[in-house]
Amino acid sequence: MRNIDHFIVGGSPAQTERFHDVWNPSTGEVQARVPLAGAALLEQAVEAAKKVQPEWAATNPQKRARVMFRFKELIEANMQELAELLASEHGKVVDDAKGDVQRGLEVIEFACGIPHVLKGDYSIGAGTGIDVYSMRQPLGIGAGITPFNFPAMIPMWMFGMAIAAGNAFILKPSERDPSVPVRLAELFVEAGAPEGLLQVVHGDKEMVDAILDHQDIAAVSFVGSSDIAHYVYKRGVAAGKRVQAMGGAKNHGIVMPDADLDQVVNDLSGAAFGSAGERCMALPVVVPVGEETAERLREKLIPAIEGLRIGVSNDPEAHYGPVVTPEHKARIEQWIATAESEGGELVIDGRGYSLQGHEKGFFVGPTLIDHVTTKMSSYQEEIFGPVLQIVRAKDFEEAVRMPSEHQYGNGVAIFTRNGHAAREFASRVNVGMVGINVPIPVPVAYHSFGGWKRSAFGDTNQYGMEGLKFWTKVKTITQRWPDGSVDDGNAFLIPTL
Ligand code: NAD
């Protein structure tokens, strides 16, 4: 049995920890195990980070950027290996795993520009002989706690910006697919980063709590499900930290009567079923506007969904692979049963799906449920599987209201040829990221990522300039250099201009 080790300076102490099984979801077999550590191991990592961070922060930004450049090259050179490793633990198909790595790499590319984005502001002559300037300084040690569904992209969202800005970083990846994060940390050292700058500690709640309570960790970035995001936010803030905590999602795709339905069906097939629906920016709810649109859409969706190919993660022809664990497969199937018992019409039922030759794999067939209503729990909660629900809206107003009133507000998309409707929708909808004829509107690396409502706690988005803000603090200096020729006297009143 392969053991996946922590990646910390000094190596792991004798393994007295608990362990967690890492599956190969395509075969349904346990392929490795990962230790679940706690406060003692974290302490070792923090001590190492403390030693290395001041010198890294004092390294000029251009030199820091060069490490990022070399890291980028190494990721590109190792793309195939990373994608295969990722797919073997997560279950997504290898080409999609490359996308997972690539979208993280794009944040590293942005971080290569750190000398430019770290430049401060300067106001000359803010008062007589007075200049004011501000600079962004690193926080010290940052930590990231990441979900299973993007084991390359989300860690890179966080540590790319944090480290380029001058921080040391401790990553606690998902225990379900921890190998790629460790591999990234190895490549980072190979790229020239000093040991201890990026460390990986494995664990579950015990490690998360140790991170949240540790007084030398200044900021925590979390991505995962909403209840845990909220918990992480509250506990981290109570310990005096800066916390951003991204949570779950239930993204709606609004289909207006004038939309190009063939294009919509293509977009929806990928956005609802790609990566077996295990994306926080998946589109698991489609909202056709008007009964006629709903009927036409349903007619086109059924053959498209029936034509999807499910396969093992290294099947190059497969549209999507297995889900991550047997528990998650059971949970998705339970949600399908709930949706039916609540009155949803099970048009295509993916339960009990078995792939010939891989009968033990965690496959869930594509599922289409029509006549879902906003009252149903299967609509209100996140399913996170290959399940598409049709919720019919009578008009545009109702279609704007649905995603706006949902507890989650991560992403939303509208499909239309009407610019006015699209513009109106984008400005009014109560959701953080909006696609107009774009099904998965994950912003590019030089913008930033963040949902609203229960999809994100805290006020700063991931990556881009928002990420830079999160991982730095502003220092503002007001200076004057009097030559002694003017006697200012004593100033008992607050200076005004
Ligand atoms: P999860 O909440 O189960 O786990 C996320 C992290 O929290 C993991 O590192 C895990 O070890 C840790 N954790 C688990 N239980 C904990 C507990 N009781 N206390 C403290 N920490 C705990 O999430 P997941 O299943 O790995 O990922 C899927 C979820 O993440 C979905 O809800 C998805 O929508 C969400 N997600 C959100 C975004 C976003 O940016 N909004 C992006 C990706 C995924």
Tens-place pLDDT, residues 290-328: 999 999 999 999 999 999 999 999 999 999 999 999 999
Amino acid 15: pLDDT: 61
Report the CATH number at residue 174: 3.40.605.10
258 and 312 both lie in a single domain: yes
In a domain, 168, yes or no: yes
Amino acid 1: pLDDT: 85
159 and 64 both lie in a single domain: yes
Indicate the pLDDT class of residue 495, thresholds 50, 70 and 90: confident
Q: How far is CA 100 from CA 8, 199, 228, in A?
A: 24, 21, 23
Alpha carbons 320 and 289: distance in angstroms, whole number: 29
435: nearest Cα among 452, 448, 416: 416
Return the minimum-mean-pLDDT range out of 115-119, 166-170, 396-400, 487-491: 487-491
In a domain, 48, yes or no: yes
186 and 265 both lie in a single domain: no
The number of the ligand 1 atom at minimal distance from the alpha carbon of 382 is 32
243 and 285 both lie in a single domain: no
End-to-end CA distance of the chain: 71
Q: Burial, 317: exposed, middle or buried (Cβ in 10 Å; 0-12, 13-18, 19+)? A: exposed
Alpha carbons 278 and 255: distance in angstroms, whole number: 22
User: Looking at this protein, which amino acid is placed at residue 365?
Assistant: G
**Backbone region of residue 162 per phi and psi (left: phi > 0; alpha: psi in -120 to 50; beta: other values):** alpha
Alpha carbons 69 and 59: distance in angstroms, whole number: 15
Alpha carbons 101 and 80: distance in angstroms, whole number: 10
Closest residue to atom 12 of ligand 1, CA basis: 204
pLDDT of 493 > 90? The answer is no
Amino acid 496: pLDDT: 79
In a domain, 103, yes or no: yes
Phi, psi of 121 (to 5 degrees): -105, 150
For 362-377, write each residue's pLDDT tens digit. Answer: 999 999 999 999 999 9
DSSP conformation class of 405: H
273 and 164 both lie in a single domain: no
Give the number of C-alpha atoms closer than 13 A to the C-alpha of residue 422, restricted to the C-beta side.
14
Closest residue to atom 1 of ligand 1, CA basis: 224
pLDDT of 278 > 80? The answer is yes
In a domain, 79, yes or no: yes
The number of the ligand 1 atom at minimal distance from the alpha carbon of 225 is 32
| 325 contact partners, CB below 8 Å, separation of at least 6 | 23, 25, 176, 362
Alpha carbons 11 and 127: distance in angstroms, whole number: 55
For residue 222, how far is its CA from the centre of ligand 1 (angstroms)?
A: 8
Strand partners, 452: 409
Indicate the pLDDT class of residue 490, thresholds 50, 70 and 90: confident
For residue 481, how far is its CA from the centre of ligand 1 (angstroms)?
A: 53
For residue 328, how far is its CA from the centre of ligand 1 (angstroms)?
A: 13
Amino acid 16: pLDDT: 65
Alpha carbons 467 and 396: distance in angstroms, whole number: 35
Closest residue to atom 16 of ligand 1, CA basis: 205
Q: What residues are in contact with ligand 1 under a 6 Å CB criterion? A: 145-150, 172, 174-175, 204-205, 208, 223-225, 228, 246-249, 280, 382, 384, 410, 451, 455
In a domain, 442, yes or no: no
Pocket test for ligand 1, best of 4, 176, 204 (most atoms within 8 A of CB): 204
| 350 contact partners, CB below 8 Å, separation of at least 6 | 336, 364, 365, 366, 367, 386, 387
In a domain, 198, yes or no: yes
Give CA angle at 281 (277, 284), nearest 5°.
50
231 and 263 both lie in a single domain: no
* pLDDT above 90 coverage of the chain, percent: 95
For residue 223, how far is its CA from the centre of ligand 1 (angstroms)?
A: 6
The number of the ligand 1 atom at minimal distance from the alpha carbon of 175 is 11
Mean pLDDT of the chain: 97
The number of the ligand 1 atom at minimal distance from the alpha carbon of 462 is 40
Alpha carbons 339 and 348: distance in angstroms, whole number: 12
For residue 280, how far is its CA from the centre of ligand 1 (angstroms)?
A: 10
pLDDT of 412 > 70? The answer is yes
Closest residue to atom 35 of ligand 1, CA basis: 224
36: nearest Cα among 22, 21, 23, 17: 17
Closest residue to atom 39 of ligand 1, CA basis: 246
> For the chain, how many helices (H) and strands (E)?
16, 21
Pocket test for ligand 1, best of 280, 324, 466 (most atoms within 8 A of CB): 280
ipTM: 0.99
Dihedral sign computed on CA atoms, order 398, 404, 409, 415: positive
pLDDT of 239 > 90? The answer is yes
Please identify which of the residues 280, 318, 368, 388 carries the catalytic annotation: 280
The number of the ligand 1 atom at minimal distance from the alpha carbon of 449 is 40
Report the CATH number at residue 305: 3.40.309.10
pLDDT of 358 > 90? The answer is yes
Q: Are 278 and 312 in contact (CB under 8 A)?
A: no
212 and 305 both lie in a single domain: no
Q: Are 413 and 385 in contact (CB under 8 A)?
A: no
For 21-50, write each residue's pLDDT tens digit. Answer: 999 999 999 999 999 999 999 999 999 999
For 188-212, write each residue's pLDDT tens digit. Answer: 999 999 999 999 999 999 999 999 9
In a domain, 496, yes or no: no
Is-catalytic flag, 280?
A: yes
Pocket test for ligand 1, best of 18, 21, 149 (most atoms within 8 A of CB): 149
Strand ranges for 232-371 from DSSP E: 242-246, 252-255, 285-288, 345-348, 367-370
Total structural domains within the chain: 2
Which three-class secondary structure state does DSSP give residue 231?
helix
178 and 275 both lie in a single domain: no
In a domain, 345, yes or no: yes
159 and 305 both lie in a single domain: no
For residue 48, how far is its CA from the centre of ligand 1 (angstroms)?
A: 27
82 and 138 both lie in a single domain: yes
163 and 33 both lie in a single domain: yes
Amino acid 14: pLDDT: 58
Work out the average pLDDT over 240-266.
98
170 and 289 both lie in a single domain: no
Closest residue to atom 8 of ligand 1, CA basis: 174
Closest residue to atom 34 of ligand 1, CA basis: 248
Which residues constitute the domain of residue 350? Answer: 252-436
For 46-76, write each residue's pLDDT tens digit. Answer: 999 999 999 999 999 999 999 999 999 999 9
377: nearest Cα among 337, 409, 323, 349: 337
The number of the ligand 1 atom at minimal distance from the alpha carbon of 451 is 41
Q: Are 178 and 165 in contact (CB under 8 A)?
A: no
Closest residue to atom 7 of ligand 1, CA basis: 224
For residue 205, how far is its CA from the centre of ligand 1 (angstroms)?
A: 11
Residue identified by tokens 């399940």 is: 387
Work out the average pLDDT over 268-279.
98
For residue 146, how far is its CA from the centre of ligand 1 (angstroms)?
A: 6
